[in-house]
Structure 1
């Protein structure tokens, strides 16, 4: 009886029109929803709950952005965050945790209320808020998004994952590297960053 009720509830949820606010990204016209979007439809979670970052994710983004603000040539580059939208094709866009743009190219495109179409020089991601059920697992989603970004002209994608404390560095026409996040990596222009070391120092200062 419980199984039939659960199945009926699932079908009712699927029939409901999914609000645009639950779309995390769009790929070739196919929506990628926020993780647990169905629980929002069922009233078990709020939209804010599925959109929010964990404390660790937010802490890492703060560390990275603080490092970039202090060390990057901000006359040459512009740092955008807060799920910065990047549209690389019609009906195709991705949310970016941290995106480093060539400032001059971005200004040339024009600053307005639309998603950027200029490819960032570097994209830095921390985990994901995407629903992964249609991708099979995180690794498939990670590879797909990374390849999309590289094909669109992004020069480097750096991806930190909190569940295994790893970092992936991907550049077009180069081998992708996956290593521990306490390994020093180059972000761009010989600017190097060690997440594990910076986290340790930051926690020790608290």
Structure 2
């Protein structure tokens, strides 16, 4: 008499651990872009707070840029937003800017709410890459985000990259990368120079 045996069963796949929303930095093309260091949080090496905070160098650069901007900007014509200001491009794309300058004729009082901005800033400034560029290079992430912001209507995007000690200046017509010891125009002929500012403050950054 034949004896029937059950075929061996494959072990059930383990469910993927749900990644908390607090680790999502942006949404691109309908997919979450996680914060740099999120894997360390999932493995218990770091806390969420540890990967969300800016370094002292990043904070000093942002503070300096804000001082430069407020030194020439007409506050009756422009808004300056900071603190990872959210930008809602469409239902598949929510991005963040470290500093965003808005024309008040575009970001009108009626557009101010508890939601992300759904109108483009005139100019965006990014200090380093805060996203985990999983699936692409860091340069790929920079260019993809820059391109999306241009399609949305941003006129100019400036990236300050502290590891490489360079500044990338992008407009729809041209992209240029310069040493951060050179003067870089923000708008209307007004410039900043990260290297000169750090020297003036006695701050030495070892090049990696």
TM-score bracket relative to the smaller structure: 0.7 to 0.9
Between Structure 1 and Structure 2, the one with more helix by share is: 1
Shift of 1:109: 4.5
Aligned equivalents of 1:15 and 1:26: distance in 2? 20
Q: Which residue of 2 aligns with 1:84?
A: 85
3-state SS of 1:15 partner? coil
- Of the two, which has the highest radius of gyration? 2
Q: Which residue of 2 aligns with 1:167?
A: 167
Q: Which is worse superposed, 102-111 or 43-52?
A: 102-111
Does structure 2 conserve the Cα–Cα contact (< 8 Å) formed by 1:109 and 1:118?
no
Aligned equivalents of 1:152 and 1:203: distance in 2? 39
Aligned equivalents of 2:104 and 2:171: distance in 1? 21
Q: Which residue of 1 aligns with 2:141?
A: 141
3-state SS of 2:114 partner? coil
Shift of 1:67: 1.1
Map 1:5-16 → 2, pairs under 5 A: 15-16=16-17
Aligned equivalents of 1:31 and 1:170: distance in 2? 25
Q: Deviations over 1:17-39 (max 9, x none)?
A: 11111100001210000112122
- Asked if 1:34 corresponds to 2:35, the answer is yes
Moved over 2 A (4+): none
TM-score (normalised: structure 2): 0.86
Change (3 A) 1:200 1:109: farther
Structure 1 portions without partners, runs of 5+ = 1-10
- Asked if 1:177 corresponds to 2:205, the answer is no
Q: Deviations over 1:164-184 (max 9, x none)?
A: 110111101x12111101211
Q: Which residue of 2 aligns with 1:154?
A: 154
Shift of 1:132: 1.7
Map 1:67-78 → 2, pairs under 5 A: 67-78=68-79
- Asked if 1:58 corresponds to 2:59, the answer is yes
Change (3 A) 1:178 1:109: farther
Shift of 1:71: 1.8
TM-score (normalised: structure 1): 0.87
